């Protein structure tokens, strides 16, 4: 884990140096004098050898000093603390929906291989995997918000409630519940349902296909035939034995899908004006705010490293052989 983290630090440092963006000019502006430019150049330590600049970068990361965002004028870490909870809420709802739908559908498709439930589920998965998420987002807004009025529109809550809830954790659902603002809580749920469901549908397509593949492999094993011959019911054979043996693989699939949702939700965040991490990364990348970009890349890497670590720990729970 620490070797991977060190490699990630090297990668983010190199990205910051090879990007065709002048970090000094981005700070001081295009109209700055040569004296101002050189002073900022020296202050950033860009006159030092590359290895020394990397040591300075390691020092800053160790002290959680990621610099100041050019776009917001705030410390990058403060910006991330503000926008990341919105994406975590969205991705968590999405992965619960995706795994809750994808896993049972994958099992059902494997059990009814090459019959009509299998064909129907495969078409369902293919559609979710093929349709662009920004297109499904716009169609969802048009149908369920503008047409039927079943869900909220853009943003995390209605404009009427903005500023009513004190920001303690920056998780709107938690903050509104702690403050006893249940109207805000309901508004937040109403607004997160559609984008989370669309993200979850896209994620469930992948989870369904992988679950079906894992289950087919297990159902063709000899121990399944032995279990049926010994008199075990079809339900016990499928869920206790076959499904029990793919839980470890599913942990990895769901963890990676969750990580992808955390760092790849930028399109749905753009369509729904969701003030999250993906939108923050993209907007800063477009203006060349390298402090924010490098920090976001580092955080994405940390997310995947952490999820892989959690998966390894869960292996010990689901698979006694790893103990």
9 and 139 co-located in one domain = no
Q: How far apart are CA 189 and CA 299, in angstroms?
A: 27
Comparing 287 with 5, the larger pLDDT belongs to 5
Residue 219 pLDDT:
82
- CA 143 from chain centre, in angstroms, equals 26
Domains held by the chain: number: 2
Closest CA relative to residue 68, chosen from 27, 38, 11, 15:
27
Within a domain: 75? no
> Is it the case that residue 28 has pLDDT exceeding 70?
no
Regarding whether 90 and 41 lie in a shared domain, the answer is no
**Who wins on pLDDT, 17 or 103?**
103
**Do the Cβ atoms of 181 and 73 come closer than 8 Å?**
no
End-to-end CA distance of the chain: 20
With a cut of 80, say whether residue 261 has pLDDT above it. Answer: yes
- In this structure, is residue 73 part of a structural domain? no
More confident residue, 136 or 321: 136
Domain that holds residue 56: 2-62
The whole-number pLDDT of residue 246 equals 84
322 pLDDT exceeds 70? no
Residues 120 and 170 in one domain: yes
Is 242 within a domain? yes
Same domain? 91 vs 193: yes
Tokens of 281: 């990364």
CATH code at position 299: 1.10.3720.10
How much is the pLDDT for 51?
A: 78
Indicate whether 25 pLDDT > 70: no
Q: State residue 105's pLDDT score.
A: 92
Asked if residue 312 and residue 280 are part of one domain, the reply reads yes
DSSP string across 220-256:
TSHHHHHHHHTT--HHIIIIIIIGGGTHHHHHHHHHH
Residue 259, domain member (yes or no): yes
Q: Are residues 191 and 118 in the same domain?
A: yes
pLDDT exceeding 90 applies to what percent of the chain?
3
253 belongs to a structural domain: yes
In a domain, 217, yes or no: yes
* Interval 57-108: pLDDT, tens: 888 888 888 877 877 778 888 888 888 888 888 889 999 998 999 899 998 9
Q: 273 and 151, same structural domain?
A: yes
Q: What is the pLDDT of residue 314?
A: 79
pLDDT at 323: 66
Task: Report whether pLDDT(264) > 70.
Answer: no
Q: What is the pLDDT of residues 274-288, one digit of tens each?
A: 888 888 888 888 777
Query: Per-residue pLDDT for 37 more than 80?
Result: no
Residue 270 reports pLDDT greater than 70: yes
Locate the DSSP E strands across the chain.
none
Q: What's the mean per-residue pLDDT of the chain?
A: 82
Residue-level pLDDT at 104:
92
Same domain, 24 and 130: no
Together in a domain, 271 and 139 = yes
Same domain, residue pair 39 and 161: no
Specify the pTM: 0.82
Mean pLDDT of 180-200: 87
Instruction: Return the HEC string of 97-130.
Output: HHHHHHHHHHHHHHHCCCCHHHHHHHHHHHHHHH
Assess whether pLDDT exceeds 80 at residue 110. Answer: yes
Residues 109 and 12 in one domain: no
Domain membership of residue 210 (yes or no) is yes
Instruction: Render pLDDT for 207-253 as a digit per residue (tens, 0 to 9).
Output: 998 898 888 888 887 877 787 787 777 777 888 778 888 888 888 88
127 located within any domain = yes
Task: Give yes or no: residues 164 and 261 share one domain.
Answer: yes
């Amino acid at each position: 884990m620490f070797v991977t983290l060190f490699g990630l630090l090297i990668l983010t440092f190199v990205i910051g140096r090879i990007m065709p963006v002048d970090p000094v000019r981005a700070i001081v502006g295009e109209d700055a004098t040569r004296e101002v430019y050189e002073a900022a150049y020296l202050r950033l330590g860009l006159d030092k050898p590359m290895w020394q600049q990397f040591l300075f970068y390691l020092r800053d990361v160790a002290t959680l000093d990621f610099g100041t965002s050019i776009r917001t004028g705030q410390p990058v870490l403060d910006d991330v603390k503000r926008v990341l909870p919105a994406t975590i809420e969205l991705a968590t709802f999405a992965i619960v929906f995706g795994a809750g739908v994808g896993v049972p559908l994958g099992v059902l498709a494997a059990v009814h291989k090459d019959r009509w439930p299998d064909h129907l589920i495969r078409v369902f998965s293919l559609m979710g995997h093929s349709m662009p998420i920004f297109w499904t987002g716009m169609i969802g807004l048009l149908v369920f918000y503008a047409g039927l009025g079943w869900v909220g529109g853009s943003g995390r809550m209605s404009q009427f409630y903005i500023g009513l809830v004190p920001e303690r954790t920056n998780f709107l659902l938690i903050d509104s519940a702690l403050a006893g603002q249940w109207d805000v809580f309901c508004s937040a749920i109403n607004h997160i349902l559609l984008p989370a469901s669309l993200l979850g549908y896209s994620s469930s397509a992948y989870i369904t296909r992988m679950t079906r593949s894992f289950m087919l492999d297990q159902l063709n094993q000899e121990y399944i035939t032995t279990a049926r011959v010994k008199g075990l019911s079809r339900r016990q054979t499928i869920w206790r034995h076959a499904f029990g043996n793919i839980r470890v693989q599913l942990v990895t699939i769901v963890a990676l899908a969750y990580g992808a949702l955390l760092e790849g939700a930028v399109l749905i965040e753009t369509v729904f004006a969701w003030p999250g991490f993906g939108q923050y990364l993209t907007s800063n990348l477009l203006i060349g705010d390298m402090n924010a970009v490098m920090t976001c890349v580092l955080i994405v890497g940390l997310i995947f490293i952490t999820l892989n670590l959690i998966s390894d720990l869960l292996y010990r729970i689901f698979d006694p052989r790893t103990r």
